[in-house]
Structure 1
Amino acid sequence: MNLQLLLNRIPMIHPLPAQAAEIEITGITDNSKLADSGSLFVAVKGFCDDGHEYIRSAIQHGAAAIVGEQPQPSLPVPYIQVPDSRKALGQIAGNFYGNPSGRKKVIGVTGTNGKTTTSFLLKHIFEQNGYTCSLVGTLHIEVNGEILPSGNTTPNALVLHKLLAESRDEVVIMEVSSHGLVQHRLEGIQFDCCLFMNLHRDHLDYHGTMEAYFKSKSMLFDKLKKDGTAVVNTDDYWGEKLAENLAGRVDRLVTIGSNGSNDLHILGFRKGDCLLIEEDGGQAELCSPMKGMHNFYNTALAYAAAKSQGIPAARILDVLPDFKGVSGRFEVTALPNGATAVIDYAHTADALHYCLTTAKAQGAGRLIHVFGFRGNRDEGKRADMLEVSAKISDLYILTSDDLNSETAEDMLKSLEVLNNEFGNEKGMIIPDRSLAIQRALEISNAGDWIVITGKGHESYKQRFQLGTNSDRETVRSISGLPS
């Protein structure tokens, strides 16, 4: 593709020189080491490295032209200066790959909690109704039946456009993070349906305030196609605010909540595992295959989204009971001593509340909670998390989560200060995560539930004394269960 076509509708500080317009571009990269003959190198300023420092390296590797934000005098190849090169990267990638999101049914799921579960549930609904699906999210990326590792919940724009172009699947379901939106990783991608789950305190070390966090999540709905559908949980304070903001701005808005004015009106429970809902003048039972109030909302949102994309309500209701759940999301293991272990990804106060109350509702004789805090992350939520655990669990064990760049000594001090502040006799501290889980299992009895939160499906980032690599492996190894 020639450079002029590639830069179509891309804002530029200066017009493209006439002699550069017909340069043929054979590929795009934001990594100078991957530049080769005929490629376009986009210099993006990151959090650790600045791509502008690698422009000459990209040229040495064969780059035919450069895009960046900062003035660059006397380069031997055309330089296109743009206001925001991170944003331009997505727009250029969209042009290069022929705007692939426009040729597929693309669904975006955002919110603090429930994105992964709802995305997998949507995939299940579509596949059981004869569609092929790609999935982009926290656990992994799945395209054309092939599973690929996922570095971030939302990959960068260049990766996303390439994945969409390579996908032969009819539907693409994508978890959308607030970081991905603010950092323009979804630039140039259009959505047929966007879901808003909820918003709870998280990532304020990055966003600063809940209002800024909300605005970042709201950016997803600016990417709806002209006939796209927004599906919003209005029983969440921020969801109600979003629905008010979207009214009259989007082609179709489907609201879900317990207020009678919602399009999908939640009337209450029936037979314990079903929601009684009202929509289009009729009533139906929406039976969730998963336990917990939060999963009723996940199921209701997935139902509304799938229905908005043309799947009949009866067909959705028929396939819901067959959903097997998601690895590391309230993953239940029966232990040899008659106790039950639960592994869950919950790492916010609200998510802990949902997880622990769900365990209680399942008849836990005694609830033992093992959890920790992530280093160099929103420290303001730590006290809220501990308060929830101290209130609901019968015993909690504070331990390590990902330390990141925080030292083990500093984390231990933080755990001690918080535990002393609450002055709760329920709590103990065991810094080694594998030993904390071992202790929880050792003191458990038949009928007890051990809930281990924070890591979910993830592998450990540091080594622990028992040498295991995940919460699941630790539980099964200690209990003598097959891996």
Structure 2
Amino acid sequence: MRLSMVLEALDGCIKKMRNEVDPDLSGIQMDSRKVKPGDLFVAITGFQIDGHQFIEEALRKGASAVIGEIELDLAVPYVQVKDSRLALGRAASVFYNHPSRKHTVIGITGTNGKTTVAYIVKHILEHAGKSCSLLGTVSYMINDEVYKPSNTTPDALQIQELIAKSNDEFVVLEVSSHALKQYRIEGLEMDYGLFTNLSHDHLDYHPTIEDYFEAKTLMYNYMKPNGAGIVSRLSEWGDKLTHLLAVKEVPVYSIGYDEGNDLKIQDITLNGQTKFDIKLGETVYAVTFPSPGLHNVYNAAMAFLTAVKIGINPEVIIAALKSFPGVPGRFEMISHPEGATFIVDYAHTEDAIEYCLQAAKEHKAAKIKHIFGFRGDRDKSKREPMVKASAMLSDEFILTFDDLNGVPPEEMLNELKKLNDKFGSNKGLIIPDRTLAIQLAWENAKNGEWILITGKGPEKYKSDYELPASSDKETLFYLQKMNSKEKVIG
């Protein structure tokens, strides 16, 4: 593809063009280490590394053109743009021939529930005989192949490349606020934009909750001409978004408890099983969903309405929901030999913790214990509300380490002590080693208790701990195995 064809997509973004040669591009790269002869190199100003420092390396490796933000005079065509991230997304979309136009694309944003809704939608589509790719927090799944994710939402270049590689009819994509602010979905065109909810999170990146919300609304700038929003109106933010989309003349379908919604949730039963009714028009459908908790009622309802709008028969959707296998690291249940239930979940906000602990109460847990910690160098303002929520809803909690991300252990330990002093009363305990915290809960678990381990879900540990395990789930499996060995020896 000629450079001139790529530049047509950068209309309004180009500040200056040096060297009018029109080379034939063999590829696009934003990492100088990956540059091959004939590639277009896009220099991105990152948060830690400035890609402009690697332009010379890209040229040595054979880059035939460069895009960047600073003024330069190079031997190859150089395009100075206002924002390299925006330019990258548009250029990649053109280079890969606008791949999102060849699929039905479903974008999902919100604080909580993105991953679960994505997996439910994929499950329903496949149950209905459709093929579906998924790009999200847990994994990227394309053409039945699984790739390890780099971020919740891939970078703009990777998104276009993965979607171009997909032969699947549908593509489901989790869209984070960081991705929206950083133009990672620039050049993407969506058929459906789902909004799950909004709560206190990422306020280390966004200055206010209002800014966080506004970032989420940016997703709706990428709708296809006939695209539509599917919005949960179970919070004020959903109502606010519905009005905003009406002004933008984007069609909106909503879920909620009121008759004014396209899908009305009613008659919820959470006593050991998750059952609820869905009212669509004048028809009521009874739904049984294997994942526990009120939050999963909301997740299933979002997926239900999306599938209906796609054109899938409600009875097929109901059958699919009944057989949903769950999501790795999202309320994963592991049985203890004494009859206790251990839960591994990614919950890392006040709302998500409340959902998890409330689900345990709804299932009549004899006692609720909670193990969690905080990411170092991340949003500190949500820590106190998280501990407060745990202190209110659990019978006991253990504060432990999560990823420290360069924060000294002594500093994090001091933070945990302050929070425990404020909210712990007789409930709180501090065990810095995450595996030992889980081990203590395992060794003292009793019949009917629910022990929730939150914050990491399926993620690997970044720190070294005493037990030979690399994740919360692996720690539980290790303890399970050791318990079996002890029984054999005994």
Range into which the TM-score falls when normalised by the shorter chain? over 0.9
| Contact 1:367 1:450 survives alignment (8 Å) | yes
Q: Aligned equivalents of 2:163 and 2:278: distance in 1?
A: 35
Contact 1:141 1:148 in 2 (8 A): yes
Question: How many angstroms does 1:270 deviate by?
Answer: 5.4
Q: After the TM superposition, which residues 382-393 of structure 1 pair with which residues of structure 2 at under 5 Å, given as runs?
A: 382-393=383-394
Unaligned runs of 5+ in 1: none
CA distance in 2, matches of 1:366, 1:188: 50
CA deviation map 1:451-476 (0-9, x unaligned): 11111111111110112111111112
Note the C-alpha offset of 1:259: 1.9
Q: Does 1:55 align with 2:60?
A: no
The 3-state SS of whatever aligns with 1:435 is helix
1:405 is aligned to 406
Question: Distance between the aligned counterparts of 1:387 and 1:17, measured in 2?
Answer: 58
For the pair 1:337 / 2:338, whether they are aligned, the reply is yes
Whole-Å separation in 2 of the counterparts to 1:362 and 1:336: 19
1:346 aligned partner, one-letter code: A
Counterpart-to-counterpart distance in 1, 2:157 and 2:66:
15
Shift of the 474–66 alpha-carbon distance from structure 1 to 2, 3 Å rule, reads same
With 410-419 and 25-34 compared, the bigger mean Cα shift is at 25-34
Paired amino acid for 1:421: K
Quote the residue 2:8 is aligned against: 8
Query: What letter is aligned with 2:262?
Result: D
Match of 1:37 in 2: 37
Would the alpha carbon gap of residues 176 and 404 (structure 1) be closer, same or farther in structure 2, given more than 3 Å must change? same
CA distance in 2, matches of 1:355, 1:12: 45
Q: Say whether the 8 Å CA contact 2:391–2:424 is kept in structure 1.
A: no
Checking the alignment, whether the CA contact within 8 Å between 1:228 and 1:250 is kept in structure 2 is no
Give the Cα–Cα distance (whole angstroms) in 1 for the partners of residues 150 and 15 of structure 2.
35
Specify the alignment match of 1:202 in structure 2.
201
Shift, 1:18, TM fit: 8.0
Q: Secondary structure at the match of 2:400?
A: strand
Is the aligned partner of 1:64 residue 2:64? yes
Task: From the superposition, tell whether residues 9 and 308 of structure 1 become closer, same or farther in structure 2 (CA, over 3 Å).
Answer: same
**1:105 partner amino acid:** T
Change (3 A) 1:117 1:12: closer
| TM-score with structure 2 setting the length | 0.95
- AA aligned to 1:222 is N
| CA distance in structure 1 between the aligned counterparts of 2:162 and 2:126, rounded to whole angstroms | 19
1:172 pairs with 2:171: yes
**1:290 CA displacement:** 1.3
Whether 2:259 is the aligned partner of 1:260: answer yes
Question: Residues 84-483 of structure 1: matches in 2 within 5 Å?
Answer: 84-269=83-268, 273-480=274-481
Over 3 Å counting, the alpha-carbon distance change for 1:14 and 1:212 in structure 2 is: closer
User: Are the aligned partners of 1:8 and 1:95 in contact in 2 as well (CA < 8 Å)?
Assistant: no
Instruction: State the alpha-carbon separation in 2 of the partners of residues 319 and 425 from structure 1.
Output: 44
Deviation at 1:289, TM superposition (A): 2.5
* Alignment check: 8 A CA contact 2:19 2:77 kept: no
Helix, strand or coil for the counterpart of 1:354? helix
| Cα 1:19–1:347 shift into 2, 3 Å | closer
Query: Offset of 1:15 from its aligned partner?
Result: 6.0
On the 8 A contact 1:12/1:80 being kept in 2, the answer is: no
Provide the rounded CA distance (Å) in 2 between the counterparts of 1:350 and 1:248: 29
* TM-aligned CA distance change 1:14 to 1:153, over 3 Å: closer
Query: What's the secondary structure of 1:479's corresponding residue?
Result: helix
Q: C-alpha offsets along residues 194-236 of structure 1, whole Å, 9 cap, x if unaligned?
A: 1100111010000111001001111111111111121000112
Kindly provide the amino acid, as one letter, of the partner of residue 141 in structure 2.
E
Aligned residue for 2:488?
none
Matches within 5 A, 1:67-82: 67-73=67-73, 75-82=74-81
What do you get for the CA RMSD once the two structures are aligned? 1.6
Using the TM superposition, give the Cα deviation of residue 12 of structure 1 relative to its aligned residue in structure 2, in angstroms.
Answer: 4.5
- Does the CA-based 8 Å contact 1:229-1:308 persist in structure 2? no
Counterpart amino acid of residue 245 in structure 2: L
Cα distance, 1:434 vs structure 2: 0.5
CA contact (8 A) 2:270 2:362 kept: no
* 8 A contact 1:286–1:317 mirrored in 2: yes
Deviations 1:37-88 (A, max 9, x none): 2111111100111111111211111111111111113x11111111111100
Deviates more, 1:241-250 or 1:369-378: 241-250
Q: Which TM-score applies when normalising by structure 1?
A: 0.97
The C-alpha deviation readout for 1:110-133, integer Å capped at 9, x for no partner, is: 111111111111110001111111
Give 1:286 deviation, angstroms.
3.0
8 Å Cα contact 1:111-1:199 kept in structure 2: yes
- CA distance in structure 1 between the aligned counterparts of 2:335 and 2:291, rounded to whole angstroms: 17
Instruction: Specify every segment of 5 or more residues in structure 2 that has no aligned partner in the other structure, as ranges.
Output: 486-490
Secondary structure of the corresponding residue to residue 7 of structure 1: helix
Quote how far apart the aligned CAs of 1:424 are. Answer: 1.0
Between the aligned partners of 1:125 and 1:259, the Cα distance in structure 2 is: 25
Residue 251 of structure 1: how far off its partner (Å): 4.3
